[in-house]
Each structure stands twice: as structure tokens, then as C-alpha cells.
Structure 1
Amino acid sequence: MTVKSSTREAARLEALRQYSILDTPSEQTYDDITDLAAFICDVPIALISMVDLNRQWFKARVGLEVTETSRDVSFCAHAILDKQMLVIHDALEDERFQQNPLVTCAPGIRFYAGVPLVTPEGHALGTLCVIDRQPRELSEQQKNALEALARQVVTQLELKRVSARLANALETIEIMEGLIPICSYCKGMRDDQGYWSTVERFIEQHADVSFTHGVCDRCMRQHFPDVATALLADDPAAATTTDTEDELIE
């Protein structure tokens, strides 16, 4: 059964990209969480799954050899459509999954419980899930523990993202603190490769900023005197402010 896409799918996928987690090597922190999930829930399989556009990729896994599967057959693709835990007690009795090849063939899923990994902005990137090859139930204590572990996964993702942003910010500061060659005539800037560009382009290359353009009062009077006179007529008080600004510039 093909899962319906979330109405916020484009934004969710963009959020997944921003975390830079897809196809990264295994990490002990995430491996430990899946080990704990499998132990607490007493199941043979536990996964941290990230749901990409056409696949689900496993950041950490216990009891499963493959590193990804098609999204079309993914239980987790259903789980991320809600913020609550998805529990399938017996997949053979659920019409959504009865004919799913993950149920009818290896690994022979019968039980599934997945907690969405929801970011602070509300995007479900994937799940922390536990799987069994026979029907079963989870106790309330097991459900609570699984939800707590899912929150720890999100915390780790956030820490990694914030650390990456801080590293980029520090790199930008180091660049901007250095000596920047500026043309004395056109005020263009020269980059590390020796190419000249505008101030706007140089800053956009080294910082996450964008520009909007206008004309200051001094340049307005110099280059567009008719417009400046008209504006002054509409707002006589602007004359005093403009004179003060000119004194500061000079």
C-alpha cells in the first residue's frame, strides 16, 4: 500500500536536508539508543529510520542487515504522518500492511511500534521504531521509555546541527576579521582567488545574508535633486536630520 504524502512534505524534506544526517557513518550514540530500545521492548529489531523522498534510510539498526528500503513499503512513512506513536499489533490483520513485502517476506514483520522524530519546528524526520516477527503488545512503561529515547535522538540531531552552525559562524567571523582588499575607486572586493566582485556578492559568499537596495538622503540630493526637493517639501523635518548625517559622514 502506497503511503499518502504529508501536506508539509516539501518543508519536511528540506528540514531533513538541513540536519545533514542522511548517509552518514554509524555513531555510537545512535547505536546505543537502538540497543536500549530493543532491550527495553524485548524485540529482535530496532531502528532509527530517516524517511527520505523515495527511501527510508537507517542511521542505526539492531537485528537488520540492510541499510535502507523503499519508502513505498516503509512502515515509518506511515508513522511520520502523525505526531503520536504508531503501533501495529499484528501486520497480517491490518489492511494497510497485509500485502507488504516486508510482512510477507523477510524480515517477516508482524509487530511494529514507531515514534516520530519531531523537530522543534514540528517536522517528523523519521522514527525510532521497534519490530518483532510475532504479534505482541507493549506495556505503558515500554511505550514511555520508547518515547523518551526518541526525544534523545532528536536532541542528538539538534546538537549536531547547532554545532555545525557554530562552526560555520566561526569560519565566517575569521574570514571577515581578516584584511579584505577593497578597490579605492569602485569599492569592489577581492576574494582569496584574486577575483574582484561587488561588496554584496562578497558578503553573500561568506555569510547567510541578503540585500535590499535604496538611496540614502545624501546621494538622493546629489544624483536626484528634483526628487530630493519634492521629498523635502513633504517632510520639512527631514532637512535637519539630513544635515546631521552629512556632518557625521564628513
Structure 2
Amino acid sequence: MSSYPELENEIERLQALYELSILDTQPEERFDKITRFAQEYFQCKICLISLVAEDRQWFKSKQGLSACETPRNVSFCTYAIAEEEYLIIPDAHKDIRFANSPLVKGEPFIRAYAGIIIHSPNGYELGTLCIIHDEPREFSEQDIEMLKKFGGMVEQEIKKSANQ
């Protein structure tokens, strides 16, 4: 896997993430409801709320995966937060960035990925709401719109936490 993209605002982005005090917290039903519903809606193997820290991605909510985090250098979500809104990978075997990834070649055998960026209340890229399949999959405009809606729900919950 090639090295991941660096963000221009990485220092400010990480500061916004750490100020939320959400990393390494206990699971919360309000986030788990969103990932369960998204997993059911998309009929996907895995659905995650992934927060991208300095050297890892940590999962605030996870469906279909036992790991709590993965190294950032193998993270699909690291690539997603460098995009404008979302990242779609219909077949990871055919994408040069991911074809040799240990997450593609081994557990969880990622083939298709769709991730929508989750922003902090002040607009920084925190991570993604993502869906993962173990078979190739095309994502329609309707799929992307629904993923955006689920992502908006996550952002609302994060905003509620920031205001408490």
C-alpha cells in the first residue's frame, strides 16, 4: 500500500478531534443505532464510524468487525478524509492504492468501500461513516445520498456531545 495523503490542516484537524474527547470512549447506543441501521440499509458486511488520529483509525461504532482500531497507514478512511466529500472504491483489488493492503489480502477482506467524511462542529475532517463489502459493489447516486444522510446523523450526535 502506498503512503497515505497528508492533509494541509492536519495539526488543526487533530486538535479538533482531541478537543472533542471522543477517542477511546465507550460505545454509545446513539452511534451504534446509526451504524446498525446503515448496515441493514446497505446490506453490507461492515459499517463503521471511524475517527482518524495521528497514527491510527479508531472505531467509535462498529458493526461486523471485532477490531477496535487499525493502523492509519492501512486505513481507507485516511484516504477518504483527503477527498472533498466521500471516497468510493467499487473493487479494492483493482485500485492501486489498496490492492496490496493487508485489509484487502487478509481479514476483513475488503473488496468494496464507501466512506462519507464526518466533520467536527468547526468543519474539520474527523473520520468517516463507512460501509465495507467483501465482494465488489457499485454505488449509485442514491447510495451516496443515503450515505450522506447517515453521515449527517453522526455529525449531529458529535455536535450534541460538543455542546454538553
Residue pairs, 1:2-21, within 5 angstroms:
2-21=3-22
Gaps of 5+ in 2: none
Structure number with the bigger relative contact order (C-alpha 8 A, sep ≥ 6) is 2
Distance 2:24 2:147 in 1: 24
CA contact (8 A) 2:17 2:120 kept: no
Q: Aligned residue for 1:231? A: none
Whole-angstrom distance in 2 between the partners of 1:12 and 1:103: 27
Deviation digits for residues 19-44 of structure 1 (CA, Å, limit 9, x no counterpart): 11000000001001001111111111
Q: Deviations over 1:47-105 (max 9, x none)?
A: 00000000000000010000000000000000001231100000000000011000011
Cα separation, 1, equivalents of 2:121 and 2:161: 14
2:36 paired residue number? 35
Which deviates further from its counterpart, 133-142 or 49-58? 133-142
- 1:147 alignment partner, SS class: helix
Q: Which runs of 4+ in 1 moved over 3 A?
A: none
| CA shift digits 1:108-151 (9 cap, x unpaired) | 00000000002342211000000000101123222211111101
d(CA) in 2 for partners of 1:154, 1:37: 15
Q: In 2, are the aligned partners of 1:79 and 1:115 still within 8 Å (CA)?
A: yes
Structure with more of its chain in helix, by fraction: 1
Give the structure 2 partner of residue 161 of structure 1. 162
Aligned residues: 163
1:1-250 superposed matches below 5 A: 1-163=2-164
By percentage of residues, which structure has more strand?
A: 2
- TM-score, L = length of structure 1: 0.64
Q: Is the 8 A contact 1:83 1:118 kept in 2?
A: no
Please, which runs of 5 or more residues in structure 1 have no aligned partner?
164-250
Alpha-carbon distance between aligned partners in 2 of 1:119 and 1:50, rounded to the nearest angstrom: 11
Q: CA RMSD in A?
A: 0.9
Larger radius of gyration: 1
Instruction: Report deviation, 1:5.
Output: 1.4
C-alpha separation in 1, matches of 2:141 and 2:42: 11
* Secondary structure, aligned partner of 2:22: coil
Q: Distance in 1 between matches of 2:69 and 2:120?
A: 22
